[in-house]
Structure 1
Amino acid sequence: MKKYIYRGLVMAFAVAISSCTTEDLEPTLAQSKSVEESVNKVDNLFSILKGIHSILSTSGYYGQDVIITNEVRSDNAFSNGGSGRYTTESQYVYNNNSDLIWNNAYEVIANTNIIINADVESLEGDVDYGRHIQGQATAIRALAHFDLLREYGQQHTGNGNLGVPIVTEYKGEDLFPARNTIDEVKAAIYSDLETAFSMMDAQYDNTNVYISKYAAKALESRVAVYFGDWSRAVSAAEEVINSGLYSIVPADNFVSSWTTDGGPNIIFELAASQVDNAGINGLAYIYQINDDGSGYGDVTATSELLGIYEASDVRLGVISTDGDFIRNVGKYPDNVNFTDNIPLIRYEEVVLNYAEALLETGGDALTELNKLPANRGASLYTEATKENIILERRKELAFEGFRYDDQLRVGMDMEARGTDGGVIEVINYPSYLFAWPIPLSEMNANSNMVQNDGY
Structure 2
Amino acid sequence: MKSKYYFLVILIFCIAGCSEDFLDNPPKGSFSEEVFFKTEDAGIKTVVGCYKPMDDHWNFQVMWYDVGNIITDDSNKGGSDAGDGIRKTEVGSGRPLPTNVMLNNLWNHRYSAIAKCNTALENITLETPLIKAGGAYVTDGEKARYIAEVKFLRGFYYYGLVTVFGGVPVVTTTLSPDEKNSLTRGSIDEVKQQIYNDLQACIDEPNMPTSASLPSAEFGRVTKDIAYAFKARVHMFFDEYAPAKDAAWQVINSGTFGLQDDYQDLFNSYEDGYFSKESVFTILREYNPGYTGSSVVPQMNIGRNNLGGWGGDCPTQDLVDEYEVGDARLIHTVIQDGDEFMKNDGSIEVHNYTGYDNNTGYHSRKAYVPHQRRPDGGLWQIDWTFYLIRYSDVLLTYAEALLETGGDKQEVANYINMVRRRAFLTTSRTDDWAYMRQIVIPEVTEQEFESNYKVKASDDLKAAIKHERRVELGMEGLRYYDLMRWGDFISTMQAFSKLPYANGKGAKVDSETWPYPIPQTEIDRTAGSIKQNPGYD
TM-score by length of 2: 0.73
Cα deviation for residue 319 of structure 1 reads 1.1
Cα displacement (A) at 1:332 = 6.1
- For 1:291 and 1:263, how far apart are their aligned partners in 2? 34
Deviation at 1:300, TM superposition (A): 1.3
Total equivalences in the alignment: 422
8 Å CA contact 2:94, 2:510 repeated in 1: no
1:296 maps to 2:313 = no
Q: Deviations over 1:164-216 (max 9, x none)?
A: 11111134573232110111111111111111111223345544422222111
Q: Give the C-alpha shift of residue 354 in structure 1.
A: 0.3
1:400 positional shift:
1.5
Corresponding letter in the other structure for 2:298: A
Q: Which residue of 2 aligns with 1:347?
A: 391
Question: Which range is displaced more, 47-56 or 376-385?
Answer: 376-385
Q: Which residue of 2 is the match for residue 26 of structure 1?
A: none
Determine which of 225, 247, 259 is the counterpart of 1:236. 247
Gaps of 5+ in 1: 15-29, 154-162
Say whether residues 1:5 and 2:22 are aligned partners.
Answer: yes
Counterpart of 1:380? Answer: 454
Cα shift at 1:331:
4.0
Alpha-carbon shift at residue 4 of structure 1 (Å): 1.7
What residue number does 1:157 align with? none
> For residue 256 of structure 1, what is the aligned residue in structure 2?
265
Deviation, structure 1 residue 106: 0.9
Match of 2:324 among 270, 289, 310: 310
1:200-211 to 2 correspondences below 5 Å: 200-202=208-210, 203-204=213-214, 206=216, 207-211=218-222
Judge conservation of contact 2:294–2:383 (CA < 8 Å) in 1. no
- Structure 1 residues 221, 165: closer, same or farther in 2, change over 3 A? same
Deviations 1:232-269 (A, max 9, x none): 0111001111111111122x2x2122122321111111
* Counterpart contact for 1:212–1:268, Cα < 8 Å: no
Q: Once the 2 structures are TM-superposed, how far is the Cα of residue 10 of structure 1 from its aligned partner?
A: 2.7
Deviation at 1:428, TM superposition (A): 7.8
| 1:131 corresponds to 2:144 | yes
Q: Give the superposition deviation at 1:224.
A: 0.7
Match of 1:59 in 2: 57
How far the C-alpha of 1:292 sits from its partner, in A, is 2.4
Structure 2 match to 1:96: 98
Equivalent residues of 2:94, 2:509 under 8 A apart: no
CA RMSD of the aligned region, Å?
Answer: 2.6
Q: Does 1:181 align with 2:187?
A: yes
Query: Which residue does the alignment assign to 2:200?
Result: 194
Residues in 2 aligned to 1:166 and 1:112: alpha-carbon distance in whole angstroms? 13
Contact 1:443 1:451 in 2 (8 A): yes
- The one-letter amino acid paired with 2:366 is G
Q: Secondary structure at the match of 1:371?
A: helix
Paired residue for 1:142? 155
Distance 1:283 1:291 in 2: 17
Alpha-carbon distance change, 72 to 36 in structure 1, aligned in 2, over 3 angstroms: farther
Larger Rg: 2
Aligned equivalents of 2:108, 2:498: Cα separation in 1 = 28
- SS of alignment partner, residue 409 of structure 1: helix
Instruction: Give the superposition deviation at 1:419.
Output: 12
Q: 2 CA distance for matches of 1:266 and 1:332?
A: 19
Matched, 1:367 2:408: no
Q: Which amino acid aligns with 2:365?
A: V
Aligned counterparts of 2:214 and 2:421: Cα–Cα separation in 1? 33
Residue 449 of structure 1: aligned partner: 530
**Alignment identity in percent?**
24
Aligned pairs for 1:12-27 (under 5 A) are none
In 2 relative to 1, CA 336–419 (structure 1 residues): closer, same or farther, beyond 3 Å?
farther
Secondary structure of the equivalent of 2:184? coil
Cα distance in 2 for partners of 1:333, 1:296 equals 14
Cα separation, 2, equivalents of 1:59 and 1:246: 28
CA contact (8 A) 1:437 1:451 kept: yes
Structure 2 counterpart SS, 1:424: coil
2:364 is aligned with 1:328: yes
- Residues 1:277 and 1:3: Cα distance change in structure 2 (over 3 Å): closer
Which structure 2 residue ranges, 5 or more long, are not aligned? 1-18, 130-136, 339-352, 354-360, 371-378, 426-452
C-alpha change, 1:184 and 1:232, in structure 2 (3 Å) is same
Worse overlay, 420-429 or 217-226: 420-429
One-letter identity of the residue aligned with 1:165: P
Cα distance change, pair 423–56 in 1 and its aligned pair in 2 (3 A)? same
Output the TM-score relative to the length of structure 1. 0.85
Contact preservation (8 Å) 2:71, 2:505: no
Matches of residues 430-449 of structure 1 in structure 2 within 5 Å? 430-447=510-527, 448-449=529-530
Match of 1:410 among 486, 509, 518: 486
Deviates more, 1:139-148 or 1:110-119: 110-119
Query: In structure 2, do the counterparts of structure 1 residues 122 and 182 end up closer, same or farther at CA, with 3 Å as the change threshold?
Result: same
Contact 1:193-1:216 within 8 A present in 2 as well: yes
Indicate how the Cα distance of structure 1 residues 277 and 435 shifts in structure 2: closer, same or farther if over 3 A, else same: farther
1:377 offset after TM fit, Å?
1.2
In structure 2, relative to structure 1, the CA distance for the partners of 1:276 and 1:41 (3 Å cut) is same
How far has the Cα of 1:322 moved from its partner? 2.2
Q: Is the aligned partner of 1:44 residue 2:30?
A: no
Q: How far off is 1:66 after superposition?
A: 2.7
TM-fit CA distance, 1:359: 0.3
CA distance in 2, matches of 1:110, 1:349: 30
**Aligned match of 2:472:** 396
Q: Secondary structure at the match of 1:168?
A: coil
CA shift, 1:389, in A, is 0.6
